[in-house]
Structure 1
């Protein structure tokens, strides 16, 4: 599996498959949702065709934040992507847990990010020990996750077979 060792060029090439060009609206979609503090577990899902991304989390502190989830299906139906992020940059919430699951795919690449406090707000990958990448899930690691999350990106290979 490629997981987090994918080169930036290869990642760009894979992600470019999901950039809306001549693709139909059924191939990509971005939806807004509220991330709510209070320590209660919340779930948000979005899908295309038979593929679905589900983001489950609990957070503390502050007030609701507007987040986005983008899902995309490649033109050949072989790759499904899911990104969850805060468009304003740094999240002021502390995540006590998170889990993302792709239904109908096997994860080929995943990474989670936090934001630096420095000007420019750059994405900083979480340390590998902070989360676990499974066959279809990305999950925080209890006791090792720093409670900071600003973006999660996952690409899964579908089980689409040629006839």
Structure 2
């Protein structure tokens, strides 16, 4: 699957491996989606959304700099419908855009894990987590912190527990 190919190109932390295992263990046709979208500079706020069943991930941002960049969004739902995951990233690695803001929202879930990353200063393919003061994780959102976010974003990952109850 696309997640296995992605794993060979990037170094992941343990939580990212758990995220991959959750997604790889589900049926790719009904339980995961990976879609490409353009991140557009110009300082205008844009939103891109994708979902599975009643769960949705929305990525809202504004950026400045060069030209459009191709990014990917992957969403996945666990076999038992208890975990919904979303990852947004630039497959080429480093983004040359400066993000003035970002927010990811997982609708229908309560976020249990989230992290945001920037490209490592060494120019390699590994992502470095943003400093904790650069962003805030809420019940259903991951948002930049005004005045603290350093405008660099290469990947954002969030996993939410759904409100799915067994009968």
TM-score (norm 2): 0.89
Query: Which of residues 116, 123, 131 in structure 1 aligns to 2:120?
Result: 116
* Aligned positions of 1:1-163 closer than 5 A: 8-9=13-14, 11-19=16-24, 23-163=27-167
The count of residues paired between Structure 1 and Structure 2 equals: 155
Taking structure 1 as reference, are residues 129 and 58 closer, same or farther at Cα in structure 2, changes over 3 Å only? same
- Which runs of no fewer than 5 residues in structure 2 stay unpaired? 1-12
Distance 2:48 2:26 in 1: 28
TM-score (norm 1): 0.91
Cα offset for 1:26?
1.4
Q: Contact 2:19 / 2:85 at 8 angstroms: preserved in 1?
A: no
Taking structure 1 as reference, are residues 138 and 62 closer, same or farther at Cα in structure 2, changes over 3 Å only? same
Q: Contact 2:111 / 2:158 at 8 angstroms: preserved in 1?
A: yes
Taking structure 1 as reference, are residues 10 and 35 closer, same or farther at Cα in structure 2, changes over 3 Å only? closer
Distance 1:53 1:139 in 2: 13
Distance 2:96 2:38 in 1: 13
Distance 1:142 1:22 in 2: 37
- Which runs of no fewer than 5 residues in structure 1 stay unpaired? 1-7
Structure 1's consecutive aligned runs of 4 or more residues displaced over 2 angstroms after TM superposition are 8-15
Cα offset for 1:142?
0.1
Higher helix proportion? 2
Taking structure 1 as reference, are residues 14 and 148 closer, same or farther at Cα in structure 2, changes over 3 Å only? closer
Taking structure 1 as reference, are residues 14 and 42 closer, same or farther at Cα in structure 2, changes over 3 Å only? closer
